[in-house]
Amino acid sequence: MTAEQRVAVVTGASRGIGSTVAAALAARGFRVACLSRKGLGPEDRDRPADEAALSADFACDVTDDAAIASALKAAHGRFGRIDVLVNNAGVHDEGKSAEFTTAAFEALMRTNATSVFVASREAYPYLAETRGLIVNMGSYYDKLGVRFHVAYCASKAAVAAIGRCLAVEWAKAGVRVVTVAPGFIGTDLNQSHMANARFRDFITRRIPSGEIGRPEEVGALVAMLAAENLQFLNGETIYLDGGQGMNH
């Protein structure tokens, strides 16, 4: 099966990393179902005609189980198959742990982690038909202790754990799961932090090259994993962080 005949579904395709994932998959010939809350597909750039021709847009708030199920059904109805699910949608929140509310903790876990389990579960019947691939968007924060980030770090550790468990459980059905864990990538998610000179100085000192990552690099890695379809790569978390997570 060549990429030209294969179908990828991307959650949170409206902006940032998800938008670049959709572009990179289309550049490799995938037909791409772009899921976003507004149902408008990538909103942060003009979609070239060749990418638009390969894409279809669907509304999906990933905190709504029924919306996930119906978006996947609609994508399958439109394209006739689903080969790749990219669980990208996510939010960031932070605050002093002694004051962080249960509601805020659970809201972040719902969007970042529970949704990954729900979308994977709902996509499983389609992916079992195609012996497909799930790519989860984790974070290098999954293995770090970061002050004020108890919920975000817990959510990304959960994403990697969900990926490992589903990978071993579904391997015999031919469904693989890989987690991509970006480091600091310049998007809306951290724009306000980067506007702070002290923070910018801190983060660029922590990255060995002194440069933050670009969302297009994450898109390229996800599309490469989808296109190469390496059958022996399963359950693993692949870090794309410029070496920050291992920097001492």
Ligand X SMILES: NC(=O)c1ccc[n+]([C@@H]2O[C@H](COP(=O)([O-])OP(=O)(O)OC[C@H]3O[C@@H](n4cnc5c(N)ncnc54)[C@H](OP(=O)(O)O)[C@@H]3O)[C@@H](O)[C@H]2O)c1
Residues assigned a catalytic role: 152
Which residues bind to ligand X, rule: CB under 6 A?
11-12, 14-18, 36-37, 61-63, 88-91, 111, 137, 139, 182, 184-185, 187-190
Q: Please say which residue, 5 or 191, places its beta carbon nearer to ligand X.
A: 191
What CA–CA distance (Å, rounded) separates 139 from 180? 7
Q: Based on CB atoms, which residue is closest to ligand X, 29 or 95? A: 95
Q: How far is the CB of 11 from ligand X (least distance, A)?
A: 6
**Residue 34 zone, left/alpha/beta (φ > 0; ψ -120 to 50; rest):** beta
Provide the sign of the torsion angle of the four alpha carbons 33, 37, 42, 46, taken in this order: positive
**Token pair 């031919």: residue:** 174
Q: Which is nearer to ligand X, 93 or 129 (CB)?
A: 93
- Asked if 80 and 55 touch (Cβ cutoff 8 Å), the reply is no
Q: Tabulate helix, strand, coil % of the chain (nearest 5).
A: 50, 15, 35
What residue has token string 């995938």?
30
- 65 or 129: CB nearest ligand X: 65
We find the least distance from the C-beta atom of residue 230 to ligand X, in angstroms, to be 22
Least distance (Å) between residue 12 CB and ligand X: 3
- Output the smallest distance, CB 89 to ligand X, in A: 3
CB of 155 to ligand X, least distance (A): 8
- Write the CB contacts of 179 (distance below 8 Å, at least 6 apart in sequence): 135, 136, 137, 138, 159, 160, 163, 236, 237, 238
Both ends of the chain: CA-CA distance in Å? 44
Kindly tell me which of 100 and 130 has the beta carbon lying closer to ligand X: 100
Q: How far apart are CA 67 and CA 193, in angstroms?
A: 32
